[in-house]
Every structure is written in C-alpha cells, then in structure tokens.
Structure 1
Amino acid sequence: MAMRLNKYIAHYSTYSRREADRAIQDGYVRINGEIEMNPATQVEEGRDIVYVSGKQVSPKNKYTVIVYNKPKGELVTKSDPKGRRTIYDSLSKEFKHFIPVGRLDFASEGLLLLTDASHVATALMESDLERIYKIKIKGEVTPEMEDAMMNGLYLEDASAGAHSHSKIKEMEFKPFLGYKIQKNQPNYSILKVAIAEGKNRELRRFFAHFGADVVDLKRLSFAEIELNNLPTGKTRYLTRSEYSALYKFLKEESKKQKERA
C-alpha cells in the first residue's frame, strides 16, 4: 500500500502531520538512504525504508495506550494561552508526548485514553465505539428528552451548551446506544448514557436544548476499556485483554480501509 510520506510518518510515529512536514522540509527524513524533502512523495509500505532523525519509522512499531482518570479543571491540550492547568501538568514525563484520544472539556472528568501512536488515536477517535458517561443534570428527565435519546434529534441551532467560541451551530444527535435513569427529581437528575461519539460537547448541547444544564459529566468507559477503580489524576496501562480487543479493532479497521481503497 502506498501513501504520502508525511502521512506515513504521522501514521506510524508520534509525529503529527505538521511535525512530519517540518522534519521532511528540514532534511531530517531519508527514504532508502536518500534525503527526501517532498512531503507528497509516495512511500510503499513494506518496501521503502524510512528514517526520521536516524530512527526507522515502520508499520511494525509497537504502540502504547494508557488510561488517565482526568480530574475536573484540566484542559486536554498541550498548552493554554490563559495559563490554565492542562493534563500534561499532571502526567508523568514519560507520557508528555502521548496523544489524547479525543477530548474531555475543562469541567468534565473521567476516562481519557492517550497513545504514543497517532494512527491508533485517529482510529479510536473516528470510531463509533460505545462511550459510557455518568451525568448529573439540573431538573428532571422529561418524556421529550427520553424520546430524543431513543430516536435522535436534529437541531438547526445547537449553540446552547456549546463553547462560546464554537463555530458549530447545527447538529444531528444520533439515537443514544442506551440510557439508564438513576435518579429523577425536580431539582436534579442522574443518568448513565451510552453514545457512539461525544464530540463538540454533544451531551451538554443535547440536554441544554431541553433547558437542563449538565452540572457533572464523567466518562466511565470507552469500548471495552473501563475506568474501574483508577483514582482521579492517576494513569494505568491497558491490560492484556484490553490490548487484545484494541488489536482486533485496529485489524478490522485496516481491512475496511483496504476494501474502500
């Protein structure tokens, strides 16, 4: 399979596409021993040998995935112009180059996956694997909310519950994979919900449409990977069975991509 050089490096290393472009243009990349400065050059997997700064980049590279129990009050970003705390202020030095799989916003907490392989991060981020959240909302769960959770919802204006600087206005909310009401009271309610995405503050926007602010949001699991008893602010490596499930998922995704090509 052939792919662009910059994509190949980003796919099989910890470099982002932008970092790969820079390394290529600065003369740090060799293909089969020759310096290559064109990011669009085609690389043939399994035939061409690619080195970046003297280190070989290949599909055989092993990857590591960790679970982080993100506390409230941390941003999922490398640095913040306002000087607010980020996850990398808490993570140990060995994980400083790890890529987060999606985001949990500043006020949200719970399971966040991070990996040293961008192709793993991308595959998980773009997947429709089940994510389970525990949420607390102001007010009670109404029949209208339940109907929308079961059947989906399209909003021309989904800006309630969004970040003030978000450019995304209209949104389609797919039917939830499942939900369980644990407490339903006029002042506040608690639910467990299962959805297949969770981008762009999806849950906060969904409930804000019904006039119910989400006051607590905690991700409990991502596919087979669960938070379990991991303390807040701590990390753990995936277990053998979790790696096995991830390997199977990535193999299936790779097969699908080859069929589409």
Structure 2
Amino acid sequence: MDGYFVRLNQFISHHTKYSRREADVLIEQGRVNVEKTKADFKTILKDNQRVFIDGKYIKPQKNDLYTVVVYHKPKGEIVSKKDDRGRRVIYDSLGEKYACFVPVGRLDFASEGVILLTDSKKVAQSLMESSLEREYIIKVKGNITQEIIQAMTEGIYLENAQAGAHPKNKIRQMEFAPFAKYEIIKNEKNFSKLKVSIKEGKNRELRRFFAYFKKDVLDLRRIRYGWVCLNALPVGKTRFLNKDEYKLLHKFMDKGD
C-alpha cells in the first residue's frame, strides 16, 4: 500500500470476508482500529498504516489494491477527459472524485450502457486487451438477413469499413471475428432487435458491421462487460463492484485473460 490512498471500508472489503456495508457497521461499532489515526467513515489509509478488527491485524492480500466503478453511460456523453467540440464528457457527470479513474474501453457518443472505470492502469489495460465478452442490445433499421446471420456466425473481412464510422476516423479495413453469441429478439421489415456478444472492442465495431449491410443502428446499449452486468443500474448512476465481482477480477488479474 506504499504511496497508495484508499478508504478504510474499501480496504476491509478487499482483504477480508466483509462487504463495504459490513465494514461500515464494524467501524460504527468501534471494532476497527487504524494505526496512527482515528478510525471512522472518512478515514483514508496511507503510508502502510495497519488495520485491526477486534484487535486482529488484517494482512493485505497479495492482490494489488484497486477500485473499479460501474457507470451507466447515457447517450450524449463522450468517454474522454475533454472534447474539442465542447460536447459533454463522462467526467462532467462523474465529478472530481473520479477524475483520476481510467475508462476501460469506449462507448460512442450515441450509445449507452456499461462503462468500467478504475484507478489502476494495469487493470484497465488488462481488461481492454482481454477477450472477455461484451454484450449489447441493438436495434437496427430493417430486417436481419441470412447474409447478416452468416457474417455473425463466420465473421467477415471488409476492405472498406468506413460506413458506420466517425467521419474523421481513418481506419478503412477491418476484420470482424465471429460473434461469441447472438440472439435475434425481433426481426421485422421496419426494424429488428438483437442481443449480441463480441470479444473485441474495435472502433465502432458493431455500427460498422451492420452499416456494411445497409442496416443503420438505431439504438445500442452495452449490458455486460465480462462478468459485470448493467442490471437495474439507472442511467447516469454509478456503483462499485460487489464482493463476488471483485473476487472474479482478482482471479482474472492473477491468471490473465
């Protein structure tokens, strides 16, 4: 923990069987002691301070200490620190306390859904470079043809993948791997709805894919990143990973993808 600043309840939840809420109860009951300072809800640990619960020293686990936040990004926000066109960025909503957090991948301006943010660049890079499934609910204009189904099943390589891309993006060629999973929820002449899972996060990958078949994406929402699901998290709100999600993340970081 040398040089690292972390909330007391976060430290307890990372290194014991207790959740953050349970840690808050322990602190409130006066069962938590911190070396060289008073233990309360505002306590920030630093300089290798030792923590005790009921007089028992809590030995930090070998996992690096980091925090991961789930954000339900709304449409109309850029996943960036700032935007040269003056558009709203996610940090306008997240506030100063998350200013140092790094986003795991991107969602474009017109898309919404799960964005993970972490205070560990190592965690962010590992998650971004992984083949963890990214799951989306997509609404497209028109019907889903057999040609699209074949491309979702077998993958496709495009010499010109600029349709569906940002006008300033210079990537022309793009290879689309077979979708990890797909489910056609609704398939009609006016519009169709799908649930799809992919294992990459290329620039506007899904918009480019469907644009090649002249199917405009009307709505795109990411509902899962790996084992982290959006569930009922309201648009524009955040939550921390829960205890089980942190366990899976620790295993992921220990073993790799």
Cα deviation for residue 252 of structure 1 reads 0.8
Amino acid at match of 1:91: L
Q: Which residue of 2 aligns with 1:178?
A: 181
8 Å Cα contact 1:64-1:115 kept in structure 2: yes
Between 90-99 and 177-186, report the one with greater CA deviation. Answer: 90-99
Distance 1:60 1:183 in 2: 44
Q: Give the 3-state SS of the residue equivalent to 1:162 in structure 2.
A: coil
Asked whether 1:89 is paired with 2:88, we answer no
Asked whether 1:220 is paired with 2:223, we answer yes
Q: Give the 3-state SS of the residue equivalent to 2:71 in structure 1.
A: strand
Cα deviation for residue 121 of structure 1 reads 0.2
Cα deviation for residue 13 of structure 1 reads 8.1
Asked whether 1:139 is paired with 2:125, we answer no
8 Å Cα contact 1:13-1:117 kept in structure 2: no
- Scaled by the length of structure 2, the TM-score of the pair is 0.75
8 Å Cα contact 1:69-1:227 kept in structure 2: yes
Cα deviation for residue 66 of structure 1 reads 0.5
- Name structure 1 gaps, 5 residues minimum: 1-11, 15-53, 257-261
Q: Give the 3-state SS of the residue equivalent to 2:65 in structure 1.
A: coil
Amino acid at match of 1:138: K
Q: Which residue of 1 aligns with 2:210?
A: 207
196, 199, 204: which one aligns with 2:199: 196
Match runs of 1:1-261 below 5 Å: 61-253=64-256
Amino acid at match of 1:134: I
Distance 1:13 1:157 in 2: 47
CA pair 13-159 structure 1, distance change in 2 beyond 3 A:
farther
CA pair 206-233 structure 1, distance change in 2 beyond 3 A:
same
8 Å Cα contact 1:69-1:235 kept in structure 2: yes
Q: Give the 3-state SS of the residue equivalent to 2:239 in structure 1.
A: strand
Q: Give the 3-state SS of the residue equivalent to 1:145 in structure 2.
A: helix
Distance 2:126 2:250 in 1: 11
CA pair 94-172 structure 1, distance change in 2 beyond 3 A:
same
Amino acid at match of 1:118: K
Q: Give the 3-state SS of the residue equivalent to 1:147 in structure 2.
A: helix
Cα deviation for residue 198 of structure 1 reads 2.5
- Name structure 2 gaps, 5 residues minimum: 6-45, 49-61
Cα deviation for residue 247 of structure 1 reads 0.7
Q: Give the 3-state SS of the residue equivalent to 1:89 in structure 2.
A: helix
Cα deviation for residue 235 of structure 1 reads 0.1
Query: Aligned pair count?
Result: 202
Amino acid at match of 1:130: E
RMSD: 2.0
8 Å Cα contact 1:151-1:174 kept in structure 2: yes
Moved beyond 4 Å, runs of 4+: none
